[in-house]
Structure 1
């Protein structure tokens, strides 16, 4: 059954909001971001509003190799799968999306984690696949340098393939628990993999029975050429950065072409745009917010963020001069999506101006205006076919989230763009995604 309404996810990049300086907001939480209660309260509120998913982003390092890192940001966070397992016990319907890297773990581990989360949550688990792009992450796993971009995606493709095989290694009817016969499981329906590939050698089977969804939903975030190909081949949902409807439509047309070449139906593939929805109902509110952001931002952090994205030390350049020549995307091993976005900005911007823009946009579409204007913009992009839904990347938590739930969500529900209540079934069924057959099942 097709998804009749747009998908809306509560997205966490940082616990206090999507900006690296969100923690400085006067109403931002403090050390409670490391408690279950903080997330549980937000999760319950998101579920009461009938949002589709809680989406937790992740890095496996702190931001400590730049001057502003530890003093002004640091990037500490709770591990997503552990956190979502806890949240599964205080929610009933909302989906649980966790980011996990294919570069710094093994397929058997992640297959277990997400199968377990799917069982514990009654079929609500999703895995956001990333290949990781920070050198600090590589250094935490015994590597002197970040693996080359193309090789990270080659490993990811095999990684996902192995994980899917492990999820299928138990057929749905394999668990018997027949006390009379003494059979716990049907040996004809439990399958070893004996996978031997370029990156992995995995015997299997998994030691967790097949998840309630068959396969937890696979999400892919990344818009480089390699990222788009991986998404088209393996993902159910694709998380993209977009700045307007026209770019969203062009991106969808590109992805539809890739999907068809691989024999996939585009209607079974969801594209979610990252947006920063901000409600300001008067010119005075807008100006107050602008002034607050200018106060909270840190120029050193702006330069450091640009340095991190470009793999260039911006401290060596005049902050009031235009950008120096940028790296070529083909040989760039960093975050190619960010490089693409930076190249799309006005070349007349100075180094500091661009850094400050990135610091307050998080590379995403800033949708700011009255509640009606925000709702209209999100509705228009959905009805135009540019997206199937949104990752709501609130700049300040909980204030921007509360404004959205209280003011924007009722408008979206009234217009039929946002669901009023949850559909029955697993998350895969709720989102209108097709069931996944078992590759080992005979007949």
Structure 2
């Protein structure tokens, strides 16, 4: 039996983060904040047999100049845990992954909201566990500064422990609802958490019943040492930003080894993010990619680069190379990727800024057959279990992928032709906790 026949390729879709995508010809500039567009997006992903929809999130605007804000479509987005329950009502199979911070939430409230999404969607919820990389979020929650990197991850680890414990508040058959006996719930099947530790004191139990998949699917994307360790200990799906197959294969093997060392017995699902740009010919696809990059404002790019590095680069010559940049309290893995890209390709500061503000990760640019071939190669060579796909523009980019790439993946035996699982966990091939 082939590898593809044993386990299908996992596909998640997310709104494009390329800074030029909202200006692309035919794009809907208000896509990220328009419910009708997001409903169509989710239903189109479901038509293409995608496993899930992933919504990134931030709890503050990024630092920058008025020019940065003026050029960015990310200044106005919808809260994932408000949007996803609405999308649950208009989809039947699609997994729904919400990004939510462990630094600026409390575990009981977040456990309750995610458990509610899981019940409403009949077992299709996922949680992208993040510690927040945007230092500006602190000021929106009464804090003078962002919690230090290592402390954010220590808090996050305990946060997950509390969440997981709260999701186990009720046995699956606790709610007997026996009207003849007048018994709604069996108290012997209720579990009080009573957690007391460094960061949290939470009694429980959670006042939401257990969902059919028992708890949301846990997703994590940290690439720092602390991020990889928490992913190995807690996550079921790991997002990553590898840009070549060799590094992706190393990361894949490393994360599986880390998970085993942490006592995990089910392999992690590793999903690189990939920007897909389709054309009828390679030349047409490359022209579309160039058009996307040309639509990014230079001043906005430079401000975005400062944010990515956690350091103001306006004092340097944009035509020069990036100097040594000190560490910051922002995302360490994100900063390291940017510095490595600048050094690897010897990019000027402005060229680097344009790349960062556009897209710096893995990209697949070409015809539908080329894209399907690339995905199959990564999948069969154990560089990925699937992909978290960003589309060149919306709505056109996702329609192109579903209409042209999905049938080819199905023909190759890589992708399901219909949903067979009941829950998000089922469709991903994950065991029930």
With normalisation by structure 1, the TM-score equals: 0.93
Paired residues of 2:293 and 2:358 also in contact (CA < 8 A): no
Rounded to whole Å, the distance in 1 between the matches of 2:378 and 2:229 is 24
CA-CA distance at 1:346 after TM superposition: 4.5
Instruction: Indicate conservation of the 8 Å contact 2:273/2:388, yes or no.
Output: yes
8 A contact 2:98–2:126 mirrored in 1: yes
Tell me, yes or no, if structure 1 residue 383 matches structure 2 residue 386: no
Shift of 1:294: 4.4
Aligned position for 2:406: 409
**Corresponding residue for residue 338 of structure 1:** 334
SS at 1:140 equivalent? helix
Indicate the residue corresponding to 2:307 in structure 1: 308
CA distance in structure 1 between the aligned counterparts of 2:336 and 2:64, rounded to whole angstroms: 23
Describe the SS at the equivalent of 1:147: coil
Counting only pairs closer than 5 Å after superposition, residues 214-253 of structure 1 correspond to structure 2 as 214-253=214-253
Q: Counterpart of 1:440?
A: none
Deviation at 1:287, TM superposition (A): 5.2
User: Is 1:181 matched with 2:181?
Assistant: yes
Rounded to whole Å, the distance in 2 between the matches of 1:313 and 1:292 is 28
State the shift of 1:3 in Å.
6.4
Q: Deviations over 1:82-140 (max 9, x none)?
A: 11100111110111111011111111111111111111111000001110011211111
Aligned 8 A contact 1:10 1:51 in 2 = yes
TM superposition shift of 1:51: 0.7
Q: How many Å separate the matches in 2 of 1:386 and 1:286?
A: 24
Which residue is equivalent to 1:76? 76
Describe the SS at the equivalent of 1:393: strand
Distance across 2 between alignment mates of 1:290 and 1:32: 20
Q: Deviations over 1:384-438 (max 9, x none)?
A: 11111110011311122111111111111100111111122211112111111xx
The answer to whether 1:148 aligns with 2:145 is no
Q: What whole-Å deviation, never above 9, does each CA across 1:257-310 have from its counterpart, x for those lacking one?
A: 211211212x43111110011112325524542552343111111111110011
Tell me what 2:424 maps to.
427
- Structure 1 residues 14-25: aligned runs within 5 Å: 17-25=16-24
| Contact 1:115 1:216 (C-alpha < 8 Å) held by counterparts | yes
Structure 1 counterpart of 2:354, from 356, 360, 365: 356
Three-state SS of the structure 1 residue aligned to 2:272 is: strand
CA gap of 1:283–1:165, structure 2 versus 1, over 3 A, is closer
Is 1:57–2:60 an aligned residue pair?
no
Query: Structure 1's 32 and 396: CA in aligned 2 closer, same or farther, altered over 3 A?
Result: closer
Q: Is residue 6 of structure 1 aligned with residue 9 of structure 2?
A: yes
Aligned to 1:94: 94
- Aligned to 2:75, the other structure's residue is in SS state coil
SS at the partner of 1:376?
helix
Q: Which moved more, 1:235-244 or 1:21-30?
A: 21-30
Distance 1:157 1:150 in 2: 11
Displacement of 1:32 in angstroms is: 5.7
Q: C-alpha separation between the residues in 2 aligned to 1:186 and 1:273? A: 44
Counterpart of 1:27 in structure 2 is: 26
Which segments of 5 or more consecutive residues in structure 2 lack a partner in the other structure? none
CA displacement 1:301-346 (0-9 Å, x = unmatched):
1111110011111111100010010234xxx421122122123224
TM-superposed CA distance for 1:160, in Å, is 0.7
Contact 2:98 2:127 survives alignment (8 Å) = yes
Structure 1 position 275 matched with structure 2 position 274:
yes
2:415 is aligned with 1:418: yes
Deviation at 1:31, TM superposition (A): 3.8
Describe the shift of the 1:387–1:31 C-alpha distance in structure 2 as closer, same or farther (beyond 3 A).
closer
In terms of mean alpha carbon deviation, does 183-192 or 289-298 score higher? 289-298
Task: Tell me the distance in 1 between the aligned counterparts of 2:176 and 2:141.
Answer: 40
Measured after TM superposition, the shift of residue 20 of structure 1 is 2.0
Shift of 1:64: 5.0
Counting matched residue pairs gives 426
Instruction: Look up the match of 1:123.
Output: 123
Counterparts of 1:32 and 1:311, CA distance in 2: 29
Structure 1: unaligned runs, 5 residues or longer: 437-443
Residue 33 of structure 1 and its aligned partner are, at CA, apart by: 4.1
Task: Determine if contact 1:54/1:96 at 8 Å carries over to the other structure.
Answer: yes
Name the Cα RMSD after superposition. 1.6
Residue 48 of structure 1 aligns with which residue?
A: 47
Following superposition, the deviation at residue 72 of structure 1 comes to 1.2
Residue matched to 1:171: 171
Q: Is the 8 A contact 2:32 2:76 kept in 1?
A: no
Whole-Å Cα distance in 2 between the matches of residues 308 and 6 of structure 1? 34
Matched residue SS, 1:258: helix
